[in-house]
Structure 1
């Protein structure tokens, strides 16, 4: 027909090409959206933000604790010197920057750098960096704190050290404002929280019978390592309420953790119950940053209301890295899980030198009686009972019966905690107690900074130091009104006889 052109065979017209192009774009967009929905959870962007800032705050406290205490505990002239440790323990067993070099100045630089980076993360610097830059920034405090923990010896042998390292490692892969939170990492954070709570619940049920009888809190608030300002009041709560506390704790630690893996809003409710329980523990005692870090983990499982911002799809390299880390964590979880379900379950153990996946738990047994080691010094040449014995005062542990306990957590008073263990058994004090006494006899400046008060002027150290064991108990309401003292103490026995420096040390 004249005037009509037919398209050449095999060639589509302009309209058909446009339609085909639009269809391809739609398919690509759909595929990209499907990939995003599988790998990321944009609705948890605020949960990630809150968790990251809370974790940065805990990091800041941990590094501040290290910066202010390391010289007396681990320094070149400390009670357990790092240089001596790294000579005896190879790098493979305890990876640390201090295997490459150690000096007190370098250790201070590591601790204060950790403080600075933690403060930067708390202020949100990672959000201003590209994705890879934010990940590297989160890697810095983890590597620095690992270096400290792995040479910290008994001063760092606490479960919350490994918990901070495991949490900090997962935070490296949580991303920043350039990508939505990865579902896999959010799941791993819940898996960690599950092990913290469920492991603690199991160790209680398998341990002291008072947990099964619901009577442990009749003693715990009085005998815990470091009571807080409200612990006296918690101790004097009615017995039935103590039993209700224990029963609620069992539910929170043995039942609620499974709900973390349920659909929303059930997972949010489970996390909220854990947060309430942890806040109750914060009020009742001083447990360093254990409770606050557990709260941070629970916040990562909370789905906050509000519409998420528009976030781009995750780059392929990021997906590969996250999935590889997830596979590693699953592989390393085998031994902690076997330990957790074992009848011989142990608390707070690391199964790899990087503290990537650990086992947790606390208070498998509860002391019925509180003992305290009281250290005294005298300037007299003859250390008899009629000598002028003066008591050293610690910052957190009970001493003067009239001195009310203070709130220190999340800050960690390491020496005070170890003094509690020393009172349980001299075996816990074997590697450091003698070094502490020696430094008190020298009026060592760094050691005295760990104390609340020394009874001796800086230029007049004591001639002798001794330690005595006392039994402490909370006073009753009537005794508190009559004496103003929250503690009553009774002498038990000599813990360390009067000790002085050798003559060679005195001359030097």
Structure 2
């Protein structure tokens, strides 16, 4: 694939990553005080305890730019505000101006998000945050280095022959993401995936469903089982077409992935994750798909057509066979898995190592064609050699990234680890702290089978009666409240409440921190919660109850019966008071009580930067997360449209 044929494709990918960074920074910014502030649930100051005076100190322990913020006389919370706001501003400019989408900008964006991730603790330890770090690092390699020479003749080209090599790495990341996500569902031996009944529970049990999830939950059982089979087809079989030499097969793979992501977006709030996956799918496209004219090439269209038909026929027949599909008299399609766990384990053990060898061959072929283009598409001798040197440099970088990615990829099966070179393992161990390559696999096991567990926090001034519920913005609570649409914003407290319900408070120590803050009516934390039943004075006691939630059935009047039904399962957390000895002891161990003391430093200690950061925070206030994120995104897109209209 010529570098000229993917120039606009590359630019679209860079634009998409810029937009996702913008959403990620905007979403996190409004939650920093309640999550990481000095009086938040997990104060970041307890993680960042040292100041860096040298490069070595910066990289020691937890490498984060927050170690430098004390030099600006900023608290850790103000430092997070500064980093997040810088990320907001820079990604905002990258969305508007194509010239800003260069290597330097994406290096800064990656460093800013990585620094925040390092202190994010459990509220930032999600697969999509890690995926953004890996995709963001690849974006650095793909983005142009906009160095403007004083002499026009030496102006840096808008595209390079090695662009196709870097875009191949993005495609390889997409392959690993989808293939691993599909395989782990079956290797986990979860009975709902093997029985094709996962969607019977998924729409109800996922973290934050959308209103459409209620309607999808009511679909016929045969259709839901068929949808699970199609999901396996898209996640396990289709990714092999990402590297097909036939363009129509790659486009088919693109549309299949887009269909899956759109359906997920319609039924679930997964913040920027699905948008990021769709951005990775851009690596399957070319400029012709985007409407840009290309030079006509005489290729074997008939051969490509035949190859595509053979591939479609093979995939269709194997899918029909492996999932035992059968058309019934009622015009429904019944389906069931016809292979055994042992047979699938043999498939993974045999096929996955070949994907590694195939990836190495495909990467080598991409490199070879890039070098050939250096000497065939460029006329001047000097620029031929310069392009070849660039290709050589990026080939080494690309080969290193490929080698690093094989280590987490090999976790799919124990036999695959034998194929990964020892040099790759050693290289991965050196850079593992920077999350340049990770393993993926969402919904390994289906949760909420038999009803979704939900923790409901209650407060009261008496142990006997008067218990009133705290209502969160987005997670299920009141049974008559409609599920929200909140993506691309991620309410991280609501998400962790979902995880807390799957376990116990002993395995989620942050939950006790939350309870302690509620017993103190801490404003920053209460800003993350929609309804505080004790606005004037905190309650004496707080407890948590575990409920089991179910969707109401189709045909019921949601105006009277609500969207949910629920029944009490058990007590999740016994009633605690602020002076409870066990709670106080735990708060002292974690440092919450000491960190909860508000800063009393005088104004003379505040620097200009700290006053500016605090002023911005006061001006923005505490808006609702989804509204703030969408306002920022729409403002950026509108400004881009106006700017483009004026400049044109």
Selected match of 2:553 from 468, 471, 476: 476
- In structure 1, the partner of 2:488 is 410
Report Cα offsets for 1:234-284 as digits up to 9, x if no partner.
111111110111011001011110100012132122112101110011011
CA contact (8 A) 2:48 2:76 kept: no
Which structure: larger Rg? Answer: 1
Selected match of 1:371 from 426, 449, 453: 453
Selected match of 1:488 from 558, 565, 581: 565
Q: CA deviation at 1:327?
A: 2.0
Whether 2:313 is the aligned partner of 1:306: answer no
- In structure 2, the partner of 1:154 is 122
Pick closer, same or farther for the CA change 1:428–1:302 going to 2, 3 Å.
farther
- In structure 1, the partner of 2:278 is 295
Q: Within 5 Å, which residues of 2 pair with 1:56-95?
A: 56-87=18-49, 91-92=59-60, 94-95=62-63
Pick closer, same or farther for the CA change 1:105–1:87 going to 2, 3 Å.
closer
- In structure 2, the partner of 1:19 is none
Q: Could you tell me how far apart the structure 1 residues matched to 2:505 and 2:414 are? A: 27
Q: Within 5 Å, which residues of 2 pair with 1:354-393?
A: 354-367=434-447, 368=449, 369-378=451-460, 380=461, 382-384=462-464, 386-387=465-466, 389-393=467-471
Selected match of 2:511 from 433, 438, 447: 433
Q: CA deviation at 1:92?
A: 4.1
- In structure 1, the partner of 2:110 is 142
CA contact (8 A) 2:87 2:112 kept: yes
Structure 2 unmatched runs, 5+? 51-56, 70-74, 145-156, 296-376, 418-427, 585-592, 598-648
Secondary structure of the 1:328 match is helix
Q: CA deviation at 1:209?
A: 2.3
Q: Could you tell me how far apart the structure 2 residues matched to 1:421 and 1:52 are? A: 33
- In structure 1, the partner of 2:217 is 235
Q: Could you tell me how far apart the structure 1 residues matched to 2:169 and 2:85 are? A: 30
Pick closer, same or farther for the CA change 1:114–1:321 going to 2, 3 Å.
farther
Q: Within 5 Å, which residues of 2 pair with 1:38-117?
A: 41-87=3-49, 91-92=59-60, 94-101=62-69, 103-117=76-90
Q: CA deviation at 1:287?
A: 1.3
Pick closer, same or farther for the CA change 1:440–1:482 going to 2, 3 Å.
closer
Q: CA deviation at 1:124?
A: 2.6
Q: CA deviation at 1:480?
A: 3.4
Secondary structure of the 2:544 match is strand
CA contact (8 A) 1:392 1:454 kept: yes
CA contact (8 A) 2:544 2:571 kept: yes
Q: Within 5 Å, which residues of 2 pair with 1:251-330?
A: 251-263=233-245, 264-303=247-286, 304=289, 305-307=291-293, 315=387, 318-330=390-402
Structure in which a larger fraction of residues adopt helix: 2
Q: Could you tell me how far apart the structure 2 residues matched to 1:93 and 1:328 are? A: 24
Whether 2:311 is the aligned partner of 1:331: answer no
Pick closer, same or farther for the CA change 1:449–1:481 going to 2, 3 Å.
closer
Please, which moves more after superposition, 47-56 or 198-207? 47-56
CA contact (8 A) 1:93 1:353 kept: no
Q: Could you tell me how far apart the structure 1 residues matched to 2:3 and 2:249 are? A: 17
Q: Could you tell me how far apart the structure 2 residues matched to 1:295 and 1:451 are? A: 31
Q: CA deviation at 1:291?
A: 0.9
- In structure 2, the partner of 1:121 is 94
- In structure 2, the partner of 1:25 is none
Q: CA deviation at 1:393?
A: 0.9
Whether 2:179 is the aligned partner of 1:211: answer no
Q: Could you tell me how far apart the structure 1 residues matched to 2:388 and 2:506 are? A: 51
Q: CA deviation at 1:322?
A: 2.2
Report Cα offsets for 1:371-391 as digits up to 9, x if no partner.
11101112x3x221x22x221
TM-score by length of 1: 0.84
CA contact (8 A) 1:259 1:266 kept: yes
TM-score by length of 2: 0.66
Q: Could you tell me how far apart the structure 2 residues matched to 1:335 and 1:61 are? A: 30
CA contact (8 A) 1:422 1:428 kept: no
CA contact (8 A) 1:206 1:343 kept: no
Q: Could you tell me how far apart the structure 1 residues matched to 2:84 and 2:559 are? A: 47
Give the aligned length. Answer: 455
Selected match of 2:413 from 341, 359, 367: 341
Report Cα offsets for 1:432-479 as digits up to 9, x if no partner.
01110111111111111111221222x422222111111110111233
CA contact (8 A) 1:437 1:465 kept: yes
Please, which moves more after superposition, 268-277 or 307-316? 307-316
